[in-house]
C-alpha cells in the first residue's frame, strides 16, 4: 500500500532520510523552569517535535465531588497548537487529544506519590508547539520533568520514546515521514530506566518476535531519555547548592 506523497524509500542502505542510522535518536533538547507563574515547567524536544509542559499545584481541587479524601487527583491536558502541523488543527479537545491526555495521566499516576497530598489536585498541561511524530512521548517527558521541577514527590521520572517498523526494518524514534508512511509506530514509556512499563501503544501489524525486539530497543531509547532528563535537572540546579558560608 502506498500513500500519496510518500518518498520512494525511507531507508537507503543503513541510513534513514534524515541521515540517522537505524538505532539513532533525534537530538534531544530540554529545559526546565521556563514558566515563572507555574509551580513547575519544562520543554522537551525530539528534533522538530517540541513539547511544553507546565504543572500547577498541588492546590485545592474543584469540583469538590471529584476530590479524593485520601489522595491527590491528577488532571492532565494534552493539546496540539493549531499551528503545530502542516494542516491547521481545530483548537480544543478532540478524540485523539482526550485519549492521549488520559494515557499521560495514567502513566504519571503510577509514579507520583498522590497519597502525600490528600484532597488536592495537580494540574498538568502538555502543549505541543510543533509536531513531527512522537508527540505523546515528548509531552510525557516534558510533563515528568515539570513535575520534578514543581517539587511533587515522585518514585522516578517517566521516560518515553517511540520505536517503529519501516520497510520491514525496526527503527528507533520515528520522525514525521516515517510515522506517516511506515508500517508500525509503537510509543513506550518506562519508569526511569527500569523494566517497568507505564505506556505501550501501537498501531500496525507485527509478529511477536518483532514486537519483543522493538520493546528491547525502546528500553535503550528510554534509557538515553532518562540520562538527558537527569542531566538537565542537575544542570539547572547545579548552582542550587545552598553553600552556607
Partner 1 sequence: MEDEQVTENTSNSTLLVKERELVTPGDVLAEGLDFLPSSGCYREDNQIKAKLLGLIKIKNRFIGIIPLSGVYVPRPGDGIIGFVKDMQSTSWIIDINSPYDALLVLGEAVGEFVDITKRDISSYFDIGDIIYAKVLNVTKSKHVQLTMNDHRAKKLSDGRLLKITPSKVPRLIGKQGSMIELIKNETKCQIIVGQNGVVWIRGEKEGLASKAVKTIEQESHTGGLTEKITKLLEKGD
107 sits near partner 1 (criterion: CB under 8 A) = no
- How far is the C-alpha of 146 from the C-alpha of 144, rounded, in Å? 5
Instruction: Give the x-and-dash track for 33-52 against partner 1 (CB under 8 A).
Output: ------xx------------
- How far is the C-alpha of 65 from the C-alpha of 63, rounded, in Å? 6
Q: How far is the CB of 148 from partner 1 (least distance, A)?
A: 5
Residue labelled with grid coordinates 539513532: 24
155 sits near partner 1 (criterion: CB under 8 A) = yes
Residue labelled with grid coordinates 505506556: 199
Q: How far is the CB of 59 from partner 1 (least distance, A)?
A: 5
Span near partner 1 by CB under 8 A; candidates 97-105, 154-162, 165-173, 207-215: 154-162
Q: Give me the DSSP letters along 150-215.
A: TT--BSS-EEEEEEEEETTEEEES--HHHHHHSSEEEEEEEETTSS-EEEEEEES---HHHHHHHH
Q: 43, 54, 57, 124: which one contacts partner 1 (CB under 8 A)?
A: 57
Q: 46, 50, 78, 117: which one contacts partner 1 (CB under 8 A)?
A: 117
59 sits near partner 1 (criterion: CB under 8 A) = yes
207 sits near partner 1 (criterion: CB under 8 A) = no
70 sits near partner 1 (criterion: CB under 8 A) = yes
Please say whether the beta carbons of 178 and 171 come within 8 A.
Answer: yes
Amino acid at each position: 500500500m502506498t500513500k500519496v506523497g510518500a518518498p520512494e524509500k525511507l531507508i537507503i542502505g543503513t541510513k534513514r532520510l534524515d541521515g540517522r542510522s537505524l538505532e539513532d535518536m533525534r537530538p534531544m533538547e530540554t529545559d526546565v523552569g521556563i514558566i515563572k507563574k507555574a509551580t513547575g515547567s519544562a520543554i522537551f524536544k525530539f528534533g522538530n517535535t517540541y513539547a511544553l509542559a507546565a504543572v500547577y499545584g498541588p492546590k485545592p481541587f474543584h469540583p469538590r465531588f471529584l476530590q479524593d479524601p485520601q489522595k491527590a487527583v491528577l488532571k492532565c491536558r494534552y493539546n496540539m497548537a493549531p499551528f503545530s502541523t502542516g494542516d491547521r488543527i481545530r483548537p480544543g479537545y478532540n478524540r485523539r487529544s482526550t485519549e492521549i491526555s488520559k494515557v499521560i495521566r495514567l502513566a504519571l499516576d503510577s509514579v507520583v506519590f498522590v497519597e502525600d497530598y490528600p484532597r488536592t489536585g495537580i494540574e498538568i498541561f502538555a502543549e505541543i508547539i510543533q509536531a513531527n511524530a512522537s508527540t505523546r512521548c515528548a509531552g510525557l517527558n516534558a510533563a515528568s520533568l515539570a513535575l520534578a521541577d514543581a517539587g511533587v514527590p515522585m518514585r522516578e521520572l517517566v521516560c518515553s520514546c517511540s520505536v517503529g517498523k519501516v520497510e520491514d526494518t525496526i527503527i528507533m524514534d520515528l520522525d514525521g515521514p516515517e510515522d506517516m508512511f511506515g508500517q508500525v509506530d509503537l510509543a513506550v514509556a518506562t519508569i526511569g530506566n527500569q523494566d517497568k512499563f507505564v505506556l505501550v501503544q501501537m498501531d500496525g501489524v507485527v509478529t511477536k518476535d518483532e514486537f519483543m525486539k522493538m520493546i528491547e530497543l525502546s528500553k535503550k531509547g528510554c534509557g538515553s531519555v532518562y540520562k538527558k532528563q537527569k542531566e538537565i535537572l542537575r544542570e539547572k540546579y547545579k548552582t542550587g547548592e545552598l553553600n552556607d558560608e
